[in-house]
Copies of this chain bind each other. A is one copy, B any other.
Amino acid sequence: MLAATLQVLRKHGAAALTTTRVAEVAGVSVGSLYQYFPNKRALVAALKLQYFEQITGRTLAAIHAARDLPLAAAVAHIVGELLAAKRDNRVMALALHSSLAELGGRAWVRQAGAMLSDPLGELLRDAGVARSDVAARIVVSSIEGVIAAALESDPHALDDPGLADELVTLACGYLEQRRRAC
């Protein structure tokens, strides 16, 4: 059913996301839909959660794995994994970036950011970055901003290898300055 939701979202947009259509695409009845999800909001929330967990989980693992690398290498690894995670969930990424904002706010984005910022903050602190918690939030939100803009202007942006380079340059350039600030 989540797959059907995604498909409807991609093909017809958020405005056309009706429970009837989702059920139809999923090959079940509306009644069955309501046996698994109490209401439409829950359906969308589940989709968000799934995306959220995929991306956040993998990125958190990357942050963890990068703990002992030098800062530049750590950033490169994390950014690479983040992009890979989005690439592996490209349909979701596109649907959510383009139209799921229209479905119940962007609070989940904030939540995802917070979840990543904390462990990243620790990593940065260990790497000698000043005010590491703030720095982590800046890094995460700037990267998300660039990716969002890229996806909006080109749905295939995630396949562009240059994007990773830019993001690493962006993050490292910022952190470099922050490190000197120590």
Contact = CB atoms under 8 A, between A and B. Distances in A.
A177 B72 CA distance: 13
A142 B68 CA distance: 27
Interface string A97-133: 0110111011101100110000000000000000000
A177 B173 contact: yes
A66 interface: no
Contacts of A175: 173
Interface size class of A (residues with CB under 8 A): 35 or more
Given A144-B149, A146-B145, A138 B106 contact: no
Nearest to A175: B173
Contacts of A103: 102
A110 B153 contact: yes
Given A99-B105, A105-B98, A141 B145 contact: yes
B142 A110 contact: no
A146 B152 contact: no
Contact of A134 (B13, B14, B166): B166
Interface string A153-171: 1000000001000100110
Contact of A142 (B134, B170, B177): B170
A148 interface: yes
A58 interface: no
A91 interface: no
A33 interface: no
A10 interface: no
A174 interface: yes
A178 interface: yes
11 contacts: A113-B149, A137-B149, A142-B143, A143-B145, A145-B146, A145-B148, A169-B174, A169-B178, A170-B170, A172-B177, A176-B176
